[in-house]
Structure 1
Amino acid sequence: PAGELPGLPDLPSVEETAWDFGPDDLAPACEPGTGCFGDKCIENAQCQSGWCVEHMGEGVSSQLGEEECPAGWTCRQIGSGPDTTFACVSNHANLCKPCATTEGCKAPGGAEDVCISYGQEGSFCGGACKAHDDCPWGFSCVESITVEGLETKQCVADAGVCPCTGKSVELGLATPCSVDNDFGTCAGKRQCVPEGLTACDAAIPAQEACNGVDDDCDLDVDEPGELEGNPVPLCDDGNECTKDSCKGEAGCTFEPLDQGECKDGDACTVGDHCVAGQCIGNPVVCDDGNPCTDDSCNGVGGCVFTNNQTLCDDDDPCTVGDVCVSGSCGGTPVSCDCQEKKDCLALEDGNLCNGTLVCDKAGFPYKCAVDPSTVITCPPVPDGPDELCLKSSCLAATGKCTTEPDHEGFACDDGDPCTIGEACAQGNCEGGVEPNCSDDNPCTDDLCVPGKGCLNVPNANPCNDANACTTQDVCSGGACAGGPALVCDDGNVCSGKESCDPAKGCVPGQPLACGDGNLCNGQEICDPKLGCVAGPPLVCDDGNPCTGKESCDPAKGCVPGQPLVCNDGKPCTADSCDPAKGCLFLPQEGACDDGNACTVDDHCEKGACVYTSTLTCADDNPCTDNLCDPKGGCVTKLNTAPCDDGNLCTTGDHCQLGGCISGGSLTCNDNNPCTDDSCDPKVGCQHKANSAACDDGNPCTTGDYCTNGWCTFTGFTVCDDGKVCNGKETCDPKKGCVSGTPPALDDGIACTFDFCDEAAGGVVHSPQNGACDDQKFCNGTETCDAKKGCLPGIAPVLDDKVPCTQDLCDEVGDKVVHVPDHAKCSDGTVCTGMELCDVLLDCVPGIPLNCNDGVECTLDSCDKVAGCQNVPDASKCNDSNACTNDSCDIKSGCLYVPVANGTPCTVGGLPGKCQGGVCAADCQPGTQTFNHTGAPTTYALPSCASKVTIEAWGASGGDEEVGVGGKGAYMKGDFTGLSGKTLEVRVGGQGAKGTCSICGGGGGGGSFAWVQGSNDPLILA
């Protein structure tokens, strides 16, 4: 029948012979291409045999079973019904056919072919084998792994890949394939087309990027990577202050954060936090509030306070010449005694900010002190970027609040995330530079957006993913993604399998070696598409079967055969050899011997030796087997078959040495102790009743004995142990003696100890006083009554009969204590000393006070309430020195405090001024004038300058084009306490001239003077 390839039924082989024939062992001479055995075909009609079968994935013409099938082919029944016939079917019907599963490799004849993985090249059908000889040329029998993961021996192509057959192209067969590298394995497909197998269309595995694509082909999209067991995020801009996330096809997003902790890398900031995607820290404020230290940050997060030697104010009106020493402000003490406010004018420092001096009459002697209501308190610096760089201050000359630069050079924040490195300069937070927003990623555009900070926006620029096996790389989602795979296959199977190295690119394959060194299968060549192709095999058969079967040696070529020996060893045939047909065995007549002693009347019939009847050997003994040996005739053999010896008291009767013997005695034990068991050879087992002792299995009976074949008893078991405290014992027929239930012990009285006493004959309730103890000493000792329970105790006696003591009970110390109350002994005056209470003697007199303080200038007395009074008397301290204020101090005695420097006095009858408590002659007055220079000028005051008068003129305004500018301000002030100090003086310059007839000139500069090292001007005009 014509049509598609026949479906071959799964029938058993009628002949499976693996001859080592070459191709010339096929059917007799046939013109190739005319449907000969092995010619390619699609339909049965194309074949001379009428059958088109599969061979190695291709349709080929078969040959009918009248002729022998060559090696690798098996004669099988094909077809059905009237078309049933035998034909040669390939043992490798599907070998090398592209497949995806083993199901695609099932042969019509039922061969167990499986789908074998060829690695990245794909998967192809194998062929079952045990050795290399079982496989066609170009294939080897090796341990292989099926696509289902099973190990099996299969024929595998030596070329490492299988070519497409015409049938595979026609059916559009394909094989799964893959591309592997360090990033993963991507699956693809190779299709059979007329040009051969297409290249694997799998994607090149790449490092997973944020792009909505499964780059590494692990069935997860945009999953994070892993490094040493720890997850590595796809999107990480290295900025703690952005929320990094992957948005699939949209790529990475870096959302600026406005909260959360971070680290800005600056040791001189604290409280680092995220603002608009930037890490901002608050500068370390190194201000100890001490004007006598220079404050700074040491660069590692700590503050340094360095002592200075600047002028200062120790807030003590009774000192002059205040200066910083060893981190503290101090001055030279002067007398602050006063009677009226005007007496304090000489001590005023000219600073309107630290308050005005008044005469404080709260104590004696009266002292000059600052009126707190006159102290100027300036408001704090307003919030803002410049807050750290300014401090609130008060102008000494005017008492007006202002701001001045502070924390010069300290790090600050101007509030703009697009500037970093700002610092305080002249009261402003400035000097910042643009931050480096580069993330060193060529796949992001880096920019800084005011108000938001650094942004790294993914781009789509060309890039290099460092993988030479990808082309047209382009940025996607902030990462470089490889494009189409580099095609390295040159399409020539003979040049080997080209591969791609991610570092080097295309790598040449190993050229295919086709010569197998075998003269018998011809000269192999390599086809660029099909690979190794066999040449015409060597023909060695001379066509004469009588000369034997010629063979081919792979190294020598054709080898003569062994002449055919035509002897079939049969007496009823005449043996000969025909050069055309081979051995002939013709039948002949006559007597013969078939060699069998068990047959009778042997003779030749139709070429075979036959017999008429067989020999009889039976002897009627069940313990012998009667047989006939074809060589020796009748044979009698002893057996061991079962038999019967006629005795009912034996068992296991069997044959031995030709007779019947027993195997053992019959067991007649009925497991009843009240019967005697025996056996009678004719009757069998007998059981006679006895009167022996026995056990009826009941632990509650005694005196068990046998009667009439049964076990009975004479009495009962006694279980009572004579003890009260364990209860009354009973007997259980299954368990025997069982313990009783003990009597109840608890009498409901908590303070009794309840127990059972065998000697007392029952339960006893013993009182336990300790169970009633409430752990309190002061309410007495509690006791236990066996019927009433706990009873209260009797409290201890407290009164010790001593009137001045308090009698108490100490619960902590578990005792009575008597505490002395000294107040009960007081006589109402402190001058007689302190009367005391003695716990044994009652009140004891005190020791009178000694009010002599040893200070010569005090009046000593005793007040009964206040005690000793030591009143200073300054009249006892007159040193006759006009430059000191004489007073009496109740601790130190007489004090001689210098009056204010410059106080008029006389020395040697001449006028002078007090200086440091000594009257010194007056200095000669002097005048120093300063003019505008554009820079400060210094001037050292003489040490005798007890008073300095400063006059300051502000510069005049600039002239108009047709007029004269206005005058500057004028200020004058007298200052003391400046002797020996250096003044800094700045004289203002005239304002600029106007530039038109109606344009005013510029304002004139200010003139002012201040003590060198101080920030407060003495005078300003």
Structure 2
Amino acid sequence: MSMFQFSGRSVSATVCLLVLLAGSGCGGDKEVVAGPADATSSSPDTGELDSQIVSDVPVAVDTQPVDTSVPDVKSACEKQSDCPEQQCDVLTGQCVACLFDYHCDKGLTCLAQTCEKPTPCLGDKVCLSKGGVCNLEANACVDCNGDADCGEGTVCKLNSCVPASKACKSSKDCAELDQVCDQQSGSCVDCQLDTDCSAETYCADGMCIPDICTKGQTKCKSVTVLQVCNGAGSAYNDLECEADAEACDEGECKKVICQPGEKVCDGVYVKECSARGVDLSISASCTADETCQSGSCLPHICDPGEQKCSSKGVATCADDGLSWVDSLCSSKETCVADAGAATAKCEPHICTPNLPTCDGNAYSICSDDGLNKKIINDCTKLSDGGPGVCLSGACVANSCNAGDKGCAGLATTTCVAGKWQTKSCGPKETCAAGKCVPVSCVPKEIYCDLNVIKLCSPNGDTAKFVKDCASESKPGKPRGCKGGICVDLDCMPGATSCSADNNSVETCKATGFGKVAQQCAAQQTCVTGACKALICTSGQVYCKGNDVMKCDATGTATQKLSTCPKGKICGKGACLNQLCNPGQTQCGDIFGANAGKLETCSADGMAWNASPCASGSACDDGSCKTVICKPTSSICQGSDVMQCNAVGTSFVKKQTCLKTQVCNEGACKTPICKKGVSTCGAGAQSGKLLTCAQSELAWLESSCPAGTICYGGGCKQVLCKMGELGCQGTKQVSCGNNGTSWVPKVDCATNKQVCSEGACKSPICSKGSSSCGVGTQAGALLTCSADQLKWLESKCPVGTTCFSGACKQVVCSMGENSCVGDSVVTCADDGTSWTPSTDCAANKQTCVGGICKSKQCKAGEVQCAGTTVITCNTTGTGWVTQNCSDNNACTPDTCKDGKCQYGASKVCDDKDPCTNDACNVITGQCVTSPASGNCDDGLKCTQGEVCQAGKCQPYEWDLVGTV
């Protein structure tokens, strides 16, 4: 059997021989081996065939290739076991380097039994010098593309010319070749089962082929597909990782826990998601002055827990040191900070800020923050030296006259019983001349007009400029007016910033204290004081074309991290080795999970996406094609046997039938008849029409239609009974060919006879001649029959009679006289014409009513002239006639006493029930004719009848007289 050895095999003997031929010696402790260029390499075994041959001696040697000018040394062999390190070419009886590509190291091809690098080609010419031809699919030179490229005794297998297999009936016939017998093909092969091969090979197409992989070995075909080596080591089976939950990584399906390239925080560590999203690894460690947030180390802006006063109240530094969190003081509180202790708190007001009040007899004003009061004046003694008192936050005189009115701050004063009584004005009023009037400001109030401090007049009608706080501003520290004093601004008027949750834009009020929030629209966020559209997920790393992009922390902008180099493609946020060309298609491995499915390379070239073909179609050659046949079934196409492919989408020619065969039902068969030929059946098929089937492999039986019979290979009309005689023209014929045709016998014309009813007979009349009947046939037209053996009788139309063999118009009654001018004419016997009788003019007479009479008569005289009434005209010079004849000889028409007399019609009856009796209107004679219907006189057929088919029928006269 064919034996192959791979990585780890010893080749010391072979290499030694080569070195000896090159002039170097082998032996002792200087055994020559082949090994990796770096003997210290510790690269892990990849599971693939090693491209170097190594021995068990760990000595590095020169890795330069052996000089190819050294002639090959080929050992003689009869079977594979004779070539432990090579392959046995049993045709030449020599050990060679290779017979097939798989005998060579990975990346090499077998050409002319030598392992070498593939030679690219676009045609045969470049390969001829190497003894090969061009395989356009592989774009490389090979030994052969078909058997025609190989020499005698060899065949093309796997693009290599190898000895043709030896014929066998038993594996004993193959023992000398170290092979086994394939009973199905009847030829010797290297193997039939995997057990016939070595542990490192498997059996396929009768050959031991090196294992593609190790049983159970796994690897990733794509991000979503895990490949597992089958039990024979001949192929990988595809297993789909759980969709959207797992990804293939390092030969196993792992749970997806993050987005590839995504960065997240884990305590003080920044961790980055792997290219396939199955694990996280530390990419950075934050310092003590930093906090990890959204996958980045951000510097602290304050110490966690530190407090200060803000425009809103107490601001406390967040635990991550990255932001301040405000706690609002109420409207009756003010924030007070302890700078040394880095603390702050809300202190309650002891008075209303900037409000003047009376404390006893002292006039005081509350501070801006409401936390203390400042005594402005003692009202005990007024400025004019008189005694005073503090009323409603103002100093007024202590004495008054009844009815006096005045003002005390923001109140009116009225003197009652020498004492002042006060009444406070409204919130937007001041006291003037003892009355409450509208004010422009709060009297005596120190207030802010934007950044300017102003002091309201005592009565609130005017304000005095005190100070513009902007004058106290310093770079980076703008000042403004608040509560009537200059303080640092909370913000720059009109400046914008983002809310803590980045959902709103906050605009600083015109005073510089407080902000107005404006919510951002949906799918927007606040960035540097403006609403911007969200275009990506914060921190997400993704692909744009072949660029690796990262979304910034705000989700509103992206940054290109890198562009994937040539040979790699951006997928899931990382540069990955491309598995396939985007859009490329192929059919799933028939042994894998995607068997029968169409696999399409994903847009990023990183995976094969499988989709089932639609019902009624199957995957073939990288596309879904319509299923047109049952896989492996055969049909006929002309004389070719066409076999359906494995998926049922097309036919390939399997065999061409011999010229003596026909193709039927997908097989070559010998025909039993010729297409279009028919015959008549015999035996059980007697009388049946047999027609050769289209396939020429069967006779199709059919019954002939009624009135026909099978004869001479066809259904023919039954014309007669066998032996029956008949006529065809003048020839006597007899019925033959199973009653399907008449066979000529005698030509009657030879003896001047005619053929009738199957016999030669002498004619009684000439064809086409006619005559008039006599006797019982009187008045009938007789015409010679086609067979010239009888006269055919027919009646003349009404008003006509037969004369001289033709029907002629009846113009008169037999014996009747008439006048033509002065001549008497007499009706001919057939009534069809008048015959001149007497010329009355010769006797100086005139013809009247068919007789000669004198031209002179007595006016009005009436006489009879035969059957004509004649009357003398009024002048006595001529006669007027009235013919009494009705042109019917069967009625007695007479003239008597000058009048027409008419008698009864003549009755004819011969007392024979088988005849019809009638009077001949021309002759006035009784005539008879055979009657139709049954004879009912109780007798056999009477005179003039014959019996036919059980009935009395009129006899057809053979010969009649002529008129």
Q: Provide the TM-score with structure 2 as the length reference.
A: 0.23
Higher strand proportion (structure 1 or 2): 2
Q: Provide the TM-score with structure 1 as the length reference.
A: 0.22
- Max radius of gyration: which structure? 2
